Amino acid sequence: MTSVVIVDDYGPFRDSARGLLETGGFEVVGEADGGYAALQLVEELRPDVVLLDVHMPDLDGFEVTKRLAQLDPAPAVVLTSSRDDYATLAANTAARGFIRKDELSAEALTSALG
């Protein structure tokens, strides 16, 4: 089973994402509400995948992606946002993909992971 850490500063979105992903066969092993917390949690838990919000109050998703890419092994990062314009920016990062928050599903995550 693919392990996932969900990173988003909005609790209700984390709850919703957990339900969608667990129902679709992913194992959500942790949640973080900010970039620094995410880095610490990912180093501790070593998930296969990090579902990562772009816009957070401390470190943005792009910076977190850059730092996660330096881990060995590096988790697959999929960025998420409610803003479409981040999809183009996400393509220029180490992230495996981008999913709009309102389109999140286990199928969408599987597709983004390739």
pLDDT digits (tens, 9 = 90+) for 87-107: 888 888 999 999 999 999 999
Q: What is the CATH number of the domain that holds 43?
A: 3.40.50.2300
Residue 110 located in a structural domain = no
Q: Establish if 48 belongs to a structural domain.
A: yes
* CA atoms within 13 Å, Cβ hemisphere of 25: 7
What per-residue confidence (pLDDT) applies to 85?
87
Question: Is residue 108 one of the residues assigned to a domain?
Answer: no
Nearest residue to 37 (alpha-carbon basis) of 16, 15, 67: 67
Give how far Cα 50 sits from Cα of 26, 44, Å. 12, 13
**Does residue 2 lie within any of the structural domains?**
no
Average pLDDT in the 31-38 region?
97
| Domain limits for position 35 | 8-24+31-102
pLDDT classification of 84: cutoffs 50, 70, 90 = confident
Cβ atoms of residues 80 and 105 within 8 Å: no
pTM above threshold 0.95: yes
Task: Judge whether 18 lies within some domain.
Answer: yes
